[in-house]
Structure 1
Amino acid sequence: MKQNNSVNEFILLGLTQDPTKQQMVFIIIFIFYVGTAVGNLLIIVTIKCSQTLGSPMYFFLFYLSLADSCFSTSIAPRLFVDALATKKVISYNECMTQVFALHLFGAMEIFVLVLMAVDRYVAICKPLRYPTIMSQQVCNVLIILSWIGSFIHSTTQIILVLRLPFCGPNLIDHYCCDLQPLLKLACMDTYVINLLFVSNSGALCTSGFVILMTSYTVILHSLRKHNAEARRKALSTCTSHIIVVILFFGPCIFIYTRPPTTLPIDKMVAVFYTIGTPFLNPLIYTLRNAEVKNAIKKLWHTKITEESKR
């Protein structure tokens, strides 16, 4: 709680202290963030405007792209500013807001990935009941529950962080405000709070990963009963999902299931899942998905045709 703190701001060490490397960081992060924003916006607009992408899979992909965009935005703009700043200062309130946003949209991404796996399981293993089980009403309820679950997770995290008293050093050896770096600065024994952090974030990441990998194992096992064409299409979709799951959950589990210690590699791992994965997701879902590529081409063709008639 802020009234118990003597610290009103934190100083971020960032990814590097070298001025030349800071400029390189700015350029690289800028390229990745613009690519993330454009790629996810393209998916969002395409799904929203396309008549052919109305299935539950693309409904959930819409929200995955939305969560990706917001997740990356909670980190990248601050990185831009700090990459060009001599002193990387972040206020207490801004730091707490960043923690909340990071975990809100990160949790939403986990829940949506789980829903996409459930959708593929029902579509492949129970095709006759698919329209009934994954109706639009059911999908809407599942997304609402995902937002509620994400909000509860993030609120729990921020309540725990707000209970930490900060009375000494305010130097964060990271490029953003997150749980582990803040625990190191707290003027109290953080053993119990760290257990609560791990049981919240760590359990969410690990259980989500186990559920996803189990569901895809069942799906891949059931594909033996399908014909070659159906197997090829299902494998293409599932492979894309599995790649996204591994890229996101691997670093996430590494960061949030450990004791409150920091390793030299932590920053690069965090960059990968906060900046890299949101950038790769649109590429994975468009380059490996013929329906999305065709819908994008059709959308642009229609747009160009309409402009030429004016």
Structure 2
Amino acid sequence: MKKNSKIYVAGHKGLVGSAIVRKLKEKGYTNIIGKTHSELDLTNSVEVEQFFKMEKPEYVFLAAAKVGGIFANSNYPADFIYENLQIQNNVIGMSYKYEVKKLMFLGSSCIYPKMCPQPIKEEYLLSGYLEETNEAYALAKISGLKMCQFFNKQYRTNYISVMPTNLYGPYDNFYTENSHVMPALIRRFYEAKENNTPEVVVWGSGTPLREFLYSEDMADACIYLMEIYKGDDFFNIGTGKEITIRGIAELIKEVIGYEGELVFDSSKPDGTPRKLLDISRLEKAGWTYKTELRYGIEKTCKWFKDNCINN
């Protein structure tokens, strides 16, 4: 990519997309396009084609998706598979039709089987059954990854895919019903502290292990791969480190300064018991993460306090 190349970031207002935009600007890229959902409905094929025909982006980061935590994935599976497939089909299809030079598809580590060997290597894809609570979302993301590989094979395009671990950071969804574990806990602890609530209840047993990556690091990895990589491999993006849900809850509690009790509701689902990515392929390509977990949580909590309290 050249500094004046026209770059379209689909989902530029979200957690990952906004981080990519900030990082692109930081690196000196000057011609970045973003459209809100009201300006461009990516599930609408007519609107998407009109956009590509008019704007003719040279590079595309496909970071737009319908996302959510266990509650949302369990209760709205049809919405998750339908809307994500629509977005992917439209953006990837129009990228080919209007000769985009390079596209990056952002997936998720939930593409891997529930009982995968740990740490999870890229070659474990499609080697077992998916986690039931997010199967619909996972199937959509697998389809997007495979679509990129098949377009490369048939049409000699330059489409690459990345599978990030659990992400957190500024511009996340902090509204608990539909959010992931990190932003949900941050909001819950802040509200409990403000309201002097005696306890905070966390879904599940607290024993599952999770890996977390700060969104700014994710953006840096994405741009790095767009600049240097061409091929059919896809990349896990993470830290190679893990922590229990109990551990992450206790860390957020400490950062926020909440002094009440922490209660785990074992009647609620845990999800995948362990999910640690093998990041050796990415490290071999020359990239490693920079932001340690506690510092990332501190920055995320500050952003949440400055931007979301009372909103």
TM range (shorter): under 0.3
**What's the TM-score once normalised by structure 2's chain length?**
0.26
Which structure shows the bigger proportion of residues in helix conformation? 1
Query: Which one scores higher on RCO, CA 8 angstroms, separation ≥ 6?
Result: 1
TM-score by length of 1: 0.26
Larger Rg: 1
